[in-house]
Every structure is written in structure tokens, then in C-alpha cells.
Amino acid sequence: MRAMLCTAYGPPDSLVLRDVPRAPLGEHDVRIGVHAAGVNFPDLLIIQGLYQFKPEPPFAPGGEVAGEVLETGPAVTDFVPGDRVIGMTRWNGYAEEAVAPAHRCIAIPASADMRVAAGLALTYGTSYHALVQRASLQPGETLLVHGAAGGIGTAAIDIGQCLGARIVATGGNDQKLQAVAAHYGVEHVINYNTEPNWKDRVRALTHGRGADVICDPVGGDVFEKSLRCINWEGRLLVVGFTSGTIPSARANLILLKGCSVVGVFWGAYADRDPEGNRANLQRLFRWLDEGRLRPLIARTLPLAEAAVGLEMLARREVVGKVILTTDRYEGGHA
């Protein structure tokens, strides 16, 4: 089977498509014939040796796949060959076959397109965990979503709307923000590059109160300004640092706002509470089946063009997600 291999830490264009032997299958593992794989920001970091996990090359990046079960380890009782599943693989997902422990696999509804399913786990799983378990977002609350055009951002908007929140979305590019506003019907979008005093607009939009929940995958200056436009008892979710700057929180602002700065680490949550994570994803797939979620796929590329997708992420060109497909996927590329 073929995989897009990182043979030494480096940029996206150093990935190579190679024939590799099948990975061994553990007692509790599921082997998935991959139809589609999601491309995520952590993939960009992991191939450069900049992520919290540093697998020894050669390895393939790719933390999420969708496909059909090919075989199961002897202790697996939940799945049989032929089942449609997603698998959360951490890495090795950019491949024609992937192995994931059964507790990191979820059945997907017959109605779900494999590309949509492949892109749901990391971003929607993280944003759901952030908004529900970490922030306890309530209907009618204002949710401020930073980096709104990205994978985490679009998922946070989609889920926030399902939970009945009022959305204010920020980003660094007007065209991307307009695409997000059009797709999700978001009324208030703010460009944090061209409107440096965006925190004042957030305050104005919330009648001086500030946002109740803030989802921040960007960090840096965006995080620091967030503490100046958060409501009393607000929850500021620390999700990531795409700006490249890990900010410091001023403790006096946290005190004055009576707010919480809340860490979000979905991968660790999924390991510590696999049943909770499975229930979250099952709920997301139910919402998808009911037509309540509207994931945005920016581009579908064949597996061999994974570097193109990663470079699009690095250049901040993506609105929603990039998805890779293998020859098993029956739809086309778009």
C-alpha cells in the first residue's frame, strides 16, 4: 500500500509517495481501507518536528481518516469488515490503509460522504469538546470565534450555531471572512488585521458586556486583546497558536473580568475519556445526518498531492478544510 511519507523532518514538498509494508495489527486495532483523510494544521507541524508528538521518520502525517474496515484484531467486538468508520490515527493517515485502536474509531452514517466524515474528528471533535465540556456554552450566549475561516474556526461556528449561540467571527482576510459569513450566515465578521481595535467592536456588539465564550486557535495579540472584550464570568478557550506566538495572560485582567482562561487539549481528552469523546463524535454525526451541520470543504486533492494541501494551510488560503482522497473514494476531486 502507498503512503505520503515524511522521510526526514522538513517542509510539505519533502513528502514522498512510497510503497510501504502494511502496519502490524494489534489485538484491539482496526485496519481501515482509507477513502479520505483530513489535512490539519498539526500535520504541518509534525512533519517539521515542531509538534508535541515527534514520531521517528519515516512516517506519514495524518490524524484522521474515513474508510471501510478491512480487518480487526481478535479483541475487537464493535466493528466488522465492511463497516464505514472514521479512525483517529494521530499520524500515518495520509495512506491507502491506516490502523487505529477500536476506541478511536466511530461508525459513520450511510448518508455521510467519506470526505466530510474524514474531516470531522480533529476540528469538530476539538471545537465540540471546547464549547461543550470546557466552556459549557449556553443558548443565547455570544461566542467570539477567532481564526474563523480555519478548520477549528468553521467547526466552532457550526457547532456554536447548533447550540444556539450568537456568533461574532474574526479573521485576517476579508475574502475568507465573506466566504464564512455567506456559508454559515454569520452577521458580524471582523478583520483583526485591518481593524486593530476590534475589541471595541466586540464590546459594542455585546452592549458593552463582551463575549461570553471566546474560541482562540490563533494566540499572540489576538489572545491578549480577547481578555479586554470578555464578559464577566466569560470563558476564554486556549486552543492553539497559529500566529506562532504563545501569549501570556495578565492575571489582573482575569481578576477584574471574573473570567476563566480554559485550556483545551482534545487529544489528551480523547485518551483520558474515550467514551466521552466517542459520545461527542456520535452526536456530531447525528447532527450531520439531520442536516444541522454544514462542514466546509475548501479543496479535495488526491493523496499524492498532500503537499499542495499543506502549503495552502501554511499560506492561510484555506476556508474550512482540505481533504485528501485515495482511489477507493468514489466521488471526484474538486
Ligand X SMILES: NC(=O)c1ccc[n+]([C@@H]2O[C@H](COP(=O)([O-])OP(=O)(O)OC[C@H]3O[C@@H](n4cnc5c(N)ncnc54)[C@H](OP(=O)(O)O)[C@@H]3O)[C@@H](O)[C@H]2O)c1
By CB under 6 A, name the binding residues for ligand X. 40-42, 122-123, 126, 147, 149-153, 171-173, 176, 217-218, 239-244, 264-267, 313, 316, 318
Decide whether 14 or 245 has the Cβ nearer to ligand X. 245
- The answer for residues whose C-beta is within 8 angstroms of residue 303's C-beta and 6 or more apart is 2, 4, 17, 37, 94, 95, 96, 324, 325, 326
CB of 18 to ligand X, least distance (A): 26
Decide whether 43 or 113 has the Cβ nearer to ligand X. 43
Find the residue with minimal CB distance to ligand X. Answer: 150
Decide whether 12 or 151 has the Cβ nearer to ligand X. 151
Decide whether 244 or 332 has the Cβ nearer to ligand X. 244
CB of 125 to ligand X, least distance (A): 8
CB of 147 to ligand X, least distance (A): 3
CB of 220 to ligand X, least distance (A): 8
Decide whether 9 or 241 has the Cβ nearer to ligand X. 241
Residue 164's alpha-carbon distances to 167, 202, 289, in angstroms, are 9, 19, 19
Helix axes 151-162, 174-184, angle to 10 degrees: 30
Return left, alpha or beta for 242; rule: phi > 0 is left, psi -120 to 50 is alpha, else beta: alpha
CB of 269 to ligand X, least distance (A): 8
CB of 112 to ligand X, least distance (A): 20
State how far the Cα of 105 lies from the Cα of 111, in Å rounded to an integer: 18
Residue 317, beta-bridge partner list: none
State how far the Cα of 157 lies from the Cα of 164, in Å rounded to an integer: 10
State how far the Cα of 68 lies from the Cα of 70, in Å rounded to an integer: 6
- The answer for residues whose C-beta is within 8 angstroms of residue 28's C-beta and 6 or more apart is 73, 75, 76, 101, 102, 103
Q: What is the phi/psi pair of residue 263, to 5°? A: -75, 145
How long a stretch of residues is the chain?
334
Decide whether 40 or 161 has the Cβ nearer to ligand X. 40
Cell of 195: 481593524
Decide whether 9 or 71 has the Cβ nearer to ligand X. 9
State how far the Cα of 200 lies from the Cα of 204, in Å rounded to an integer: 6
Decide whether 25 or 262 has the Cβ nearer to ligand X. 262
Per DSSP, the three-state class of 22 is: coil
Return left, alpha or beta for 17; rule: phi > 0 is left, psi -120 to 50 is alpha, else beta: beta
Look at residues 72, 67, 78 and name the one whose alpha carbon lies nearest to residue 38.
67
CB of 48 to ligand X, least distance (A): 12
Decide whether 33 or 219 has the Cβ nearer to ligand X. 219
CB of 129 to ligand X, least distance (A): 8
CB of 274 to ligand X, least distance (A): 15
